[in-house]
Amino acid sequence: MPMSCLPVSLYADLSAGRLTLADWFRFAAELGLEGADISVAHLPGRDASSLAPLRHQAQDAGVAIPMMVTYTDFTHPDPTVRARQADELRSCIEAATHLGVRYLRVTAGQNHPGVERAQGIGWASAGLTACLPDASSAGVVLAYENHTIGYGWDHYDFSLPADIYLEIVNNTAGSGLQLLFDTANNLVNGEDPLPLLDQVIDRVAVIHAADMARKGHFEPTVVGTGVSPLASIFHRFRAAGFDGWLSIEEGSKTGQAGFRQAIPLVRDLWEKSKQ
């Protein structure tokens, strides 16, 4: 089972230029990871000439770039903005092909004030499926996350509540939209992630191993040290025969120490889950 990592703790340094993606690829390799995930926010451009060096840097470091996270906001009340989000996602799909990225994380959008439940669910369902033909043609998989908040967002995700996420999942059944299951985000809303997982596990393409310090609060902590029921979640995935990418979302903001602590903890929990 291949393992990667999304370096949320490094986002500020990557955005400010104190670190480069090449630095991240080398660090991921040092940590013994097979893959190094990235955010679209840190790309130097979307065209082939801008991205070819990044692809070579990952190859030189000895890691794949299995997933890139995007921040699609299909629940914006302005239809012009929602249309631009689809164009933005098509641009990300093209960038993924230049990088050799297989999976794009997609999101429903923000919980904008005044957006009613039925409106948001309809807009999100339409937006998340609009670019599936483009992704399929490019050999890219769109994976919809049970998500809390995006980089640069002002509001929590419209589909953070499990019942809303599940309704969008059901609305898109048979469309080709796959799922990215985060092990901690439902905890932020005071919910247990296990009942949701049991209802969506057959469509999960990628796992985000994440953790929160407390239930009911957005307090990312070193993965494996918080309240996320990782052992039970991993056991369910093992029983279902999951063999895709397990991505550690390192957002504890504890520097390199957080990565060095989380990765062996997650490896150990995954290995024990087969017992």
What CATH number is given to the structural domain containing 127? 3.20.20.150
Neighbours of 261 (CB within 10 A): 17
For residue 54, what is the enclosing H or E element?
helix 48-61
User: Range of 82's domain?
Assistant: 3-272
CB 195 within 8 Å of CB 182:
no
pLDDT of residue 275: 64
Q: How many domains does the chain have?
A: 1
Question: What are the φ and ψ backbone dihedral angles of 181, each rounded to 5 degrees?
Answer: -95, 120
- Tell how far CA 17 is from the center of its chain: 23
pTM metric for this prediction: 0.97
CB 208 within 8 Å of CB 180:
yes
What helix, strand, coil percent values describe the chain, rounded to 5? Answer: 45, 15, 40
pLDDT in tens, 100-159: 999 999 999 999 999 999 999 999 999 999 999 999 999 999 999 999 999 999 999 999
Instruction: Find tokens 């770039």 and name the residue.
Output: 65
pLDDT of residue 274: 80
Name the amino acid, one letter, at 149: I
pLDDT in tens, 19-29: 999 999 999 99
CB within 8 Å of 13: residues ≥ 6 apart? 19
pLDDT of residue 55: 98
For residue 274, what is the enclosing H or E element?
none
- The string of DSSP codes covering 72-126 is --TT-S-HHHHHHHHHHHHHHHHHHHHHT--EEEE---B--TT--HHHHHHHHHH
CB 160 within 8 Å of CB 196:
no
Residues of the chain with pLDDT under 50: none
Supply 141's token pair. Answer: 């998989």
